[in-house]
Chain A
Amino acid sequence: MHAEQPGHDHEHGPDEVPHTHPDPGVDPHAPLTTGPRALRIGIGGPVGSGKTALVAALCRTLGAELRLAVVTNDIYTTEDADFLLRNGVLPADRIRAVETGCCPHTAIRDDISANLDAVEDLEASLGPLDLVLVESGGDNLTATFSKGLIDRQIFVVDVAGGDKVPRKGGPGVTTADLLVINKTDLAPLVGADLTVMDRDATARRGALPTVFLSLVEDPAAAPVADWVRALVTARVAAAGASG
């Protein structure tokens, strides 16, 4: 049945599980909104996969060219927001921390009210913004953002979590608009095979993009920053065309 699906030009090993994405390669999202509010991008992924470090890198790379703010969702108090402040990537008034009551996935998916309040408060206090990054608390492979909260989402996994993670799938890996496989510099140390991860990610995600990243070797997170920049540019262009 794999061979009957479009876009499948690769072979599968006998130990591989079937695809779970209902429509591989088909973008399930509505067109980007073109309203006055900022583009909202959610960044999710398991604990320790490098979400906060990626947010810090994006702030350093994009902070000078875009009007940018960040909402963090910590399992415990404001650890991630404090990390961003200590690293000086954004002024304090551009960072809000949301507390999630032991349920990080609830705050980004089932009951998004505290996150919406934080985004709206940032826009009210800072004026118009181009981009708001919403970082989820570290969770598991099933955690995804509500489309009522964000426009696009990035899912971050790392090679040290095991090269089978893309194969395991789950909504984060299969449906995120961008999958980031992080910490590639660790691959030789943990025996992770990046070609396996790439092949499995493609099988799970169809045409949805996947990038490999090492913030040690690429502190600017260039491929992710380029992806974000293209979304902001497309949105601004669409807003100009419709206005």
Chain B
Amino acid sequence: MSLATLLVLADGRLPAGGHAHSGGLETAVSSGRVRDLAGLSGFLHGRLATSGRVAAAFAAAACARTAEWPVWDAGLDARTPSPALRRASRAQGRALLRAGRAMWPVAAVGREPHHPVALGAVAAAAGLDPAAAAVAAAHGTVTGPASAAVRLLGLDPYAVHALLARLAPECDRIAADAASRTAAPVDDLPAAGAPLLDIGAEQHATWEVRLFAS
């Protein structure tokens, strides 16, 4: 497996639409739940342990068994009660497929799959293994909101990256766990929920003035 290929896929500059999404951080900032670096740290730990864990498991599964993508896609729908978050995930899945198809021959996984399904399919097409797909998924669930925090709160970018560096071992653990479950049926995959992210996403979708798409 090519580590450089994984870096291409996980690069924040990949034109896959992520820059317009805050991963729920905009609502958390607006409601006062995240105001500073400590608040961001708590937010990212929580997001990694819930959305990140689910995304990693499904990216790994979709990488290992891409042809079964409708099962993974339905499994993510079942784990995403917020319609706004479903839309955000599918919009980012579509954007990632566009970028992925320009680089590798990606298998057909529908026009607008959930983001982890697209990530698994693109990773498989790139010759990456399920653990790599999972680590890209886990890493992406924290780097997106971290970048949004730099823009929304004006946090010190060095301090934010120090936070991301401290989260990296946890991303690796979650990815290893995800890669160990690729033979499991969909109902046995993680289903950790974050109700405040779901509620916040629904509120965010109704705002008249917002900076991020989600």
Do A and B interact?
yes
A76 and B211 contacting across the interface, CB-CB below 8 Å: yes
Question: Which one of A98, A102, A110 contacts B15 once the chains associate, using CB atoms below 8 Å?
Answer: A110
Q: Which of A112-120, A201-209, A221-229 contacts B (4 or more CB under 8 A)?
A: A112-120
Chain B binding site: helix, strand, loop or mixed by DSSP?
loop
Contact-size category for A:
10 to 19
How near does chain B come to A152, taking the closest CB pair, in angstroms?
21
How near does chain B come to A133, taking the closest CB pair, in angstroms?
20
How near does chain B come to A169, taking the closest CB pair, in angstroms?
26
Counted as pairs of residues, one from A and one from B, with CB atoms less than 8 Å apart, the total is 65
Q: A99-B212, A101-B212, A113-B98 are in contact. Are A77 and B207 (CB under 8 A)?
A: yes
A111 and B208 contacting across the interface, CB-CB below 8 Å: no
B17 and A114 contacting across the interface, CB-CB below 8 Å: yes
B210 and A114 contacting across the interface, CB-CB below 8 Å: no
Q: A101-B151, A101-B213 are in contact. Are A113 and B17 (CB under 8 A)?
A: yes
Q: Which of B19-27, B168-176, B178-186 contacts A (4 or more CB under 8 A)?
A: B19-27
Q: State which residues 90-144 of A face B: CB under 8 Å.
A: 98-103, 106-107, 110-114, 116-117
Q: Say yes or no: is B99 at the interface (Cβ < 8 Å to chain A).
A: yes
Identify the closest chain B residue to A102 (Cβ).
Answer: B151
Q: Say yes or no: is B44 at the interface (Cβ < 8 Å to chain A).
A: no
Q: A77-B208, A101-B22 are in contact. Are A114 and B152 (CB under 8 A)?
A: no
Q: Say yes or no: is B166 at the interface (Cβ < 8 Å to chain A).
A: no
Q: Say yes or no: is A68 at the interface (Cβ < 8 Å to chain B).
A: no
Q: State which residues 108-138 of B face A: CB under 8 Å.
A: none
- What separation, in Å, do the CA atoms of A77 and B20 have in the docked complex? 11
- What separation, in Å, do the CA atoms of A102 and B98 have in the docked complex? 22
Q: Say yes or no: is B4 at the interface (Cβ < 8 Å to chain A).
A: no
Q: Which residues of B contact A100 (CB under 8 A)?
A: 19-20
How near does chain B come to A166, taking the closest CB pair, in angstroms?
30
Q: Say yes or no: is A58 at the interface (Cβ < 8 Å to chain B).
A: no
Q: Say yes or no: is A75 at the interface (Cβ < 8 Å to chain B).
A: yes
Q: Which residues of B contact A112 (CB under 8 A)?
A: 15
**Contact flags B19-42 to A (C-beta < 8 A → 1, else 0):** 111100000000000000000000
- What separation, in Å, do the CA atoms of A77 and B17 have in the docked complex? 16
Q: A101-B151, A102-B152 are in contact. Are A114 and B98 (CB under 8 A)?
A: no
Identify the closest chain A residue to B147 (Cβ).
Answer: A101
A106 and B212 contacting across the interface, CB-CB below 8 Å: no
- What separation, in Å, do the CA atoms of A75 and B213 have in the docked complex? 11
Q: Say yes or no: is B84 at the interface (Cβ < 8 Å to chain A).
A: no
Q: Which residues of A contact B209 (CB under 8 A)?
A: 76-77
B94 and A117 contacting across the interface, CB-CB below 8 Å: yes
Pick the 10 closest A-B CB pairs, nearest first: A101-B20, A113-B95, A111-B15, A113-B17, A99-B213, A102-B151, A101-B212, A76-B209, A101-B19, A102-B211
